[in-house]
Amino acid sequence: MKRVLIQDTNGKLKKETREFLVSLNSQLRDRGLSSEVQTLMAADIGVYNRGIALKVLPEGFTYVNLEQKHIPEIIEKTLLKGEQVAGIAREGSVGQMRIVLRNCGVIDPESLEDYIAHDGYQGLARALELGPEKVVEEMKKSGLRGRGGAGFPTWMKWNITRGVQGNEKYIICNGDEGDPGAYMDRSVLEGDPHSVIEGMMIGAIAIGATKGFFYIRAEYPLAVERIQKGIDICYSRGLLGKNILGSSFSFDIEIRLGAGAFVCGEETALIASVEGLRGYPRPRPPFPSVKGLWGNPTVINNVETLANVSYILCKGGEAFGKIGVEGSTGTKVFALTGKVRNSGLVEVPMGISLRDIVFEIGGGVLDNRAIKAIQTGGPSGGVIPEQFFDTPVGYESLQKLGSIMGSGGMIVLDENDCAVDISKFYLGFCVDESCGKCAPCRVGGTQMLAILKKISHGKAEEEDLARLSQIAQAMQKASLCGLGQTAPNPVLSTLKYFMSEYRAHVIDHKCPAGKCSSLVSYRITREKCTGCGMCARVCPADAISGSRQDKYTIDAVKCISCGQCFDVCKFTAVSRQ
Amino acid sequence: MAMTKEDLLAIKNKTLAGQPKNWIRVGYSTCGIAAGAKEVLEVLSGEVKARGLELQVKKCGCLGLCSAEPLVEVSVEGAPRVIYGKVNKDVAHKIMDEHVCQKRLVEGHIYEI
Amino acid sequence: MSTVTMVKALINGKPVEVAYGTTILEAAKLVQVKIPTLCKHPDLTASAGCGICIVKVKGNRKLLRACCTPLEDKMEVTTHDSEIVQTRLTVLELILSNHPTDCLICGRNNDCELQKLAAEFGIREDRFERIVPEIPADKSTGTLILEPKKCIKCGRCIDACQNVQDVWALSFMDRGFNTRMAPAGDIKLADSPCVRCGQCSAHCPTGAIFEHDDTRKVWDALQDPEKVVVVQVAPAVRVAVGEGFGYPVGTNLTRKLYAAFRRLGFKAVFDTNFGADLTILEEAGEFVERFAHGKGALPLITSCCPAWVDYLEKYYGDMIQHFSSAKSPHEMVGVLAKTYYAGKQNIDPSKIVVVSVMPCTAKKYEIGRTKDMFASGYQDVDISLTTRELIRMLKHAGIDFNSLPDEEADSILGDYAGAGTIFGATGGVMEAALRTAYFNVTGEDLADVNFYAVRGLEGVKETTVNIKGTEVKIAVAHGLANVKHVMNKVREAIEKKQPVPYHFIEVMACPGGCVGGGGQPYMVTDEIRQQRAKGLYDEDSAMTVRCSHHNPYVQQLYKDFLEKPLSHKAHELLHTTYVSRPLYNK
């Protein structure tokens, strides 16, 4: 039996799609094929903004921009003969490549057998055969760079630590994932814990570590539970402890919990936290590779990095190195969120364009609004406006635009998002999470936030924009750790690309996006008002009064500019300025 | 007995050989659970038991399409393997009735991406 | 023999060669470059907080902190260019925007590191809005005042309290902009483990931790015609007070101090070193009782340091029987001033005000510690001033200190032996006690009274002294973090009923002993501690009378008043008791 899945991929063609379906069903009936073909509306067939589209199973042919005139050929060629119809077939599909997420959604994360059935621990077995030097070689061939954000070549970090003399070496998995909106690591820890455990063990072999730690933020209880289960199972089956897989390699793993501090995702602060001290970063040099946990050579790797490691040792570094682009090999998992249709985790090969990620995989902007920018890299990143959407994703390419890839946060902003508000949000996050050790971040961040608040309330002067810039530079140059050094990035990035919005706030006391409530006012246009009273009903401040006869008006004094009336009015009688 | 390298291969082969022909996977990470996967899992497991079906219902991780959670992937003989999204109690029942038993895909919830 | 790797690098274009491990900050001094710093204290590990000492290193896109970055081979460092200077300026302006503008009424006016930096950097405007959180001061100890409003979060006090002293009374609370310095659990300092050693105040760059200023009380007393105000000065003060007047560190200004005190209006000038000699007579007596006659527990542990007394009552209350019951030297002089001296001079003791000038902040708490400090019938020592307060008083008093002639003290409670003056250095009490203990046991004086093994800045000094064939095992610990090494060994031996590892132990809470006291002039380093100690050891070597038991005025005191060491009267006036006051329930 064939299945035809149909979808209105623009979101605006409900009627037309229904009619298409009716016509298709009727033609199938005429041809006596009703019992051979099931037709149904699907929720999503992976194509966006291409009119009426359909997908045929089991073949998987996808046809786009359909009209009823295409139906006969579809029936004739595809449904009867199983052949593809040219001309309406979807061109050049952009797809995800699941390496890090290879087992997520496939295996039972609490089952060791399921993991092994999918080539689990083959990488470990191979690493034991190869030995430390060759393992590093393999990693070098893969070109894998740290996925936590810094992008430091993993092979190099391991090699340095391998070369440092030390009785006791450690490897730590950084599961403190703190970027707002980023949850890639959480999904891997929950969905495929063994891939990270295996990756850690391979790293331990490379550097000569006998003890490993998982540092997982306490806000991820399920991840902690699944990793702990994974560790326990490994111990019970001899995959952890002494003489693993019959070799001379012995390894122990322990979980340490974070306690609500974003700064503890920074290497040296993480180490301080594991040591039981206040999560304060430490000056580098010495680097953790040389002098880390309790003064010993330590490697800290991100969850996603380690999930890649187990794959690389299993399938080979060279094969991995062919994925992506030069300098940024492999894939990257992005947490695509914001004003996008399909928010979730997407894993794509490096080099794919931002446009493809957001529009081809993400499905484009919610409610078909105009896109304003894509924010990448979380609180350390920046905004990327539309003119750069064809930029291929990679470490250096995003840096050139004034942003970073970071840990993979990707937030879609539309016309209703205000650049000032976005930078205020991220800076507010950094100020909240600042550890307070160094003055540039502790005071600088607070001062910058105070200025941004002034701007969003329309109380700033032009001089304040210069002050913002001055503090931002000092923070970037003089902060002790990455948190302070990169906290100004969203501000600097929005200043660079959306200066006009800042100036509107400062000089005209207006918020063009309509977000900053102090600068937005709402009016009801009498001519458009039908007197339905919906606005008055939703107003939380009792600021709207009137009647069906007299129409409705907003009392500007009582109005708190929440925008509820604007959202609810079906007649666009409420205007915003 | 501690595992050896040979054991790895043996376990792999044994597990693969024992894969059920009919299975349902329910996304059971934080995103799924938060969206209501627990109830969906209960309905599906309950129905499988009640109907005495040879069908494995298993928890799995996050498929990545988090805005469509709860996600349920269904693979039964006689129908193509598909992923259903925004599954609730009612949709879960429909999946059992229509997809599993009648081999007819359920309307409006397929995420075939 | 270890080989030291040398590195060659350029700083501002000038070649410099240093041992590997030398920081850029230190290396720069060799080419006459002063990189500005704020949170770095030469005595403490760099915390790398403030961000003032940033420099450029060729090839590194980040600015690095000179205070903690080691100079590497072939590094090219730029310490001053317009970008660096502008960044430092902004950082300082940010710090200032978080600081109150109380300079004119702050105790650190004209002596504040932040003020100095602001002046150096030529700050002329408040570029940023001032945001200073309202946090109330903590005056609960009456000794040290915490003013978190003025704190610049440099972390020095916490490093000193946690790592150097191992007391852990202070910590950082909250985080980010709300970070403040306070005892953990947000309790009052008086309820915390604080022993008032004052190391925090001695390292604080601003007025955030400041000693309780008692100079006003002294002025008031001096101006009261009814009162007879007398003063005594500790050994460690005489070799440190000069630092407030431009003298080289360690200059021994004893006789100038006596002259200054008389100009200030003190009716009698005593010397705590006399009290030190007295302490030795009592304590050496105690030691011989226990060691030679088996009367009492060994080891005997010194107790002249009040911060140490507070610490022992909190944490080693189970070992109280080991502590010498002798009071500290200045308390002895105090009680004698109001009894022996008052009697001899026919002065109504109720009119006598005794002022102690000490290197110590804990003495402020000691003078009211228990009723034992009122053994004369009145408060034996009325006011305790720190060296820092004395320096301010002298400047306030309109005395040209540098030009004063040398004068003498009142010998009755003012003359001392060399053994008395070395009390100010770590190991000094032990050395002084050994000189007299030897005499007490053998009846003879040592040919060489110098005990070099107990001198110096090593945290724990252990040695064995031979008293005519008998071995006496000694330990000297300074800096409270080193106490546990010695005390735990003793406690373990006692628990396991094994022979004790030491017979006699000296403990000084402050690193270096009293010369490094919490009330001494700012910016102490190990070098300065050594120089101040040298000032005392040199004085000792030059004296004719070097042993406490040969101090004629001490001998006179026993003959006329106390009868003999450990007599009933001596116990009444010169000894105290201790109470176990565990801080945390076991």
Residues counted in chain C = 586
The yes-or-no reply on C/B contact (3 CB pairs or more, < 8 Å) is no
Residues of chain A with CATH 1.20.1440.230: 419-506
Report the top-level CATH class of A325-414.
alpha beta
Report the top-level CATH class of A419-506.
mainly alpha
Residue A119 is given by DSSP the state T
The answer as to whether B64 is a domain residue is yes
- Chain A CB contacts of C128 below 8 Å: 447, 467, 471
pLDDT in tens, A129-182: 999 999 999 999 999 999 999 899 999 999 999 999 988 999 999 999 999 999
Sign of the Cα pseudo-torsion (A542, A545, A551, A554, in order): negative
- Closest C-alpha among A236, A225, A171, A166 to residue A198: A171
3-state helix/strand/coil string of C477-509: EECHHHHHHHHHHHHHHHHCCCCCCCCEEEEEC
Q: Quote the pLDDT of residue B2.
A: 79
Is C91 near chain A, with CB under 8 Å? yes
Report the domain count for chain B: 1
- Closest C-alpha among B12, B1, B33 to residue A112: B12
CB contact under 8 Å between A282 and C90, yes or no, is: no
CB contact under 8 Å between C62 and A474, yes or no, is: no
Chains within contact range of chain B (3+ C-beta pairs < 8 Å) = A
Q: Quote the pLDDT of residue C429.
A: 96
Return d(Cα A177, Cα C232) in angstroms, integer: 62
CB contact under 8 Å between A436 and C176, yes or no, is: yes
The per-residue DSSP string of C149-210 comes to GG-----HHHIIIIIIS-----EEES-GGG-EEE-GGG--GGGSS-----HHHHH-SSTTEE
Report residue B1's pLDDT band, with 50, 70 and 90 as the boundaries.
low
Q: What 3-state class would DSSP assign to C18?
A: strand
CATH of C216-574, one of 3.40.50.1780, 3.50.50.100, 3.40.50.150, 3.90.1410.10: 3.40.50.1780
| HSE-CB for A312 with a 13 A CA cutoff | 34
> How many C-beta atoms lie closer than 10 Å to residue C5's C-beta?
8
Measured in whole angstroms, the distance separating CA A93 from the mean position of its chain's CA atoms is 21
Tokens for A93? 């599909």
* Mean of pLDDT values over C528-555: 96
Residues of chain A with CATH 3.40.30.10: 2-81
The answer as to whether B11 is a domain residue is no
> Is it the case that residue C409 has pLDDT exceeding 90?
yes
CB contact under 8 Å between B64 and A108, yes or no, is: no
Question: Which of A103, A107, A344 is opposite residue B67, by nearest beta carbon?
Answer: A344
Q: Quote the pLDDT of residue B112.
A: 86
CB contact under 8 Å between A474 and C90, yes or no, is: yes
Tell me the pairing of strands A371-376 and A331-338.
unpaired
Buried b (16+ CB within 10 A) or exposed e, C18-33: beeebbbbbbbeeeeb
Q: Are C144 and C212 in contact (CB under 8 A)?
A: yes
Q: To which residue do tokens 């894969």 refer?
A: B19
Tokens for C171? 């910590």
Q: Are C423 and C276 in contact (CB under 8 A)?
A: yes
Q: Is B41 left (phi over 0), alpha (psi -120 to 50) or beta?
A: alpha
Q: Is C296 left (phi over 0), alpha (psi -120 to 50) or beta?
A: left
ipTM: 0.95
A212 or C468: which carries more pLDDT confidence?
A212
What are the angstrom distances between the C-alpha of A463 and each of A466, A506, C92, C93, C584?
5, 10, 19, 16, 55
Name the strand (E) or helix (H) holding B92.
Answer: helix B89-94
Is A342 near chain B, with CB under 8 Å? yes
Q: What 3-state class would DSSP assign to A511?
A: coil
* Mean of pLDDT values over B31-42: 96
- Chain C CB contacts of A471 below 8 Å: 90, 94, 128
Measured in whole angstroms, the distance separating CA C210 from the mean position of its chain's CA atoms is 14
Q: Quote the pLDDT of residue A517.
A: 84
Q: Quote the pLDDT of residue C585.
A: 59
Residue of B66, B69, B77, B98 to mutate for A, most A C-beta atoms under 10 A: B66
- Closest C-alpha among C388, C417, C393 to residue C517: C388
Q: To which residue do tokens 């304003």 refer?
A: A372
Q: Quote the pLDDT of residue A92.
A: 76
Q: Nearest-CA residue of chain B relative to A186?
A: B30
**Contacts with B, A 426-465, CB within 8 Å:** none
Return d(Cα C573, Cα C175) in angstroms, integer: 50
> Is it the case that residue C237 has pLDDT exceeding 90?
yes
CB contact under 8 Å between C91 and A431, yes or no, is: no
Tokens for C195? 């022993």
| HSE-CB for A415 with a 13 A CA cutoff | 5
Q: Give the CATH number of domain C6-80.
A: 3.10.20.740
- Chain B CB contacts of A345 below 8 Å: 62, 64, 66
Return d(Cα C89, Cα A167) in angstroms, integer: 45
**CATH number for the domain including B51?**
3.40.30.10
Is the domain defined by A521-576 classed in CATH 3.40.50.300?
A: no
- Write down the mean pLDDT value for chain C: 95
C496 or C583: which carries more pLDDT confidence?
C496
Tell me the pairing of strands A344-349 and A522-524.
unpaired
- Say if residue C36 is preceded by a cis peptide, omega within 30 of 0: no
The answer as to whether B6 is a domain residue is no
Return d(Cα C305, Cα C362) in angstroms, integer: 8
The stretches of C294-400 forming alpha helices (DSSP H) are 306-315, 329-336, 342-345, 363-366, 387-396
Measure in Å the smallest separation between the Cα of B30 and chain A Cα atoms: 7
pLDDT tens, N- to C-terminus, chain A (577 residues): 899 999 999 888 899 999 999 999 999 999 999 999 999 999 999 899 899 999 999 988 999 999 999 999 999 999 999 899 988 998 877 889 999 999 999 999 999 999 999 999 999 999 999 999 999 999 999 999 999 998 999 999 999 999 999 889 999 999 999 999 999 999 999 999 999 999 999 999 999 999 999 999 999 999 999 999 999 999 999 999 999 999 999 999 999 999 999 999 999 999 999 999 999 999 988 899 999 999 999 999 999 999 999 999 999 999 999 999 999 999 999 999 999 999 999 999 999 999 999 999 999 999 888 999 999 999 999 999 999 999 999 999 999 999 999 999 999 999 999 999 999 999 999 999 999 999 999 999 999 999 999 999 999 999 999 999 999 999 999 999 999 999 999 999 999 999 999 999 999 999 999 889 888 889 999 898 998 989 999 999 999 999 888 899 999 889 988 888 988 888 889 988 7
Q: To which residue do tokens 């660079």 refer?
A: A496
* Mean of pLDDT values over C76-82: 96
Topology alike, domains C6-80 and C127-211: no
Return d(Cα A4, Cα A211) in angstroms, integer: 54
- Chain A CB contacts of C37 below 8 Å: none
CATH architecture type of domain C127-211? 2-Layer Sandwich (3.30)
The C-alpha torsion from A231 through A232 and A237 to A242, rounded to 10°, is: 70
The answer as to whether B17 is a domain residue is no
Return d(Cα C228, Cα C267) in angstroms, integer: 6
Q: What 3-state class would DSSP assign to B75?
A: strand
User: Which residue type does C5 have?
Assistant: T
Return d(Cα C237, Cα C521) in angstroms, integer: 10
Is A1 near chain B, with CB under 8 Å? yes
The per-residue DSSP string of A411-449 comes to EEEETTS-HHHHHHHHHHHHHHH--S-SHHHHHHHHHHH
**Residues in a beta bridge with B60:** B27
**Contacts with A, B 3-22, CB within 8 Å:** 3-5, 8, 11-12, 14-16, 19
Interface size A-C, in CB pairs within 8 Å, comes to 106
- Chain A CB contacts of C65 below 8 Å: 283, 480
Return d(Cα C507, Cα C491) in angstroms, integer: 15
Domain hosting B52: range is 26-113
CATH of A112-320, one of 3.40.50.1170, 3.30.450.30, 3.40.50.11540, 3.90.78.10: 3.40.50.11540
The yes-or-no reply on A/B contact (3 CB pairs or more, < 8 Å) is yes
Q: To which residue do tokens 């820890």 refer?
A: A189
Question: Beta strands of C402-521 (E only): which ranges?
Answer: 460-467, 470-478, 504-508
- Closest C-alpha among C569, C500, C191, C442 to residue C321: C500
Q: Nearest-CA residue of chain A relative to B108?
A: A42
Q: Quote the pLDDT of residue C2.
A: 60
Return d(Cα A460, Cα A506) in angstroms, integer: 6
Report residue C220's pLDDT band, with 50, 70 and 90 as the boundaries.
very high
pLDDT in tens, C18-59: 999 999 999 999 999 999 999 999 999 999 999 999 999 999
Tokens for C576? 């105290």
CATH superfamily membership of A2-81 = Glutaredoxin (3.40.30.10)
Tokens for B31? 């995103």
The answer as to whether B15 is a domain residue is no
Question: Which of A433, A439, A445 is opposite residue C51, by nearest beta carbon?
Answer: A439
What are the residue boundaries of the structural domains of chain C, listed by start?
Answer: 6-80, 127-211, 216-574
The answer as to whether B101 is a domain residue is yes
Q: Are C394 and C403 in contact (CB under 8 A)?
A: no
The answer as to whether B72 is a domain residue is yes
Is C174 near chain A, with CB under 8 Å? yes
CB contact under 8 Å between C94 and A447, yes or no, is: yes
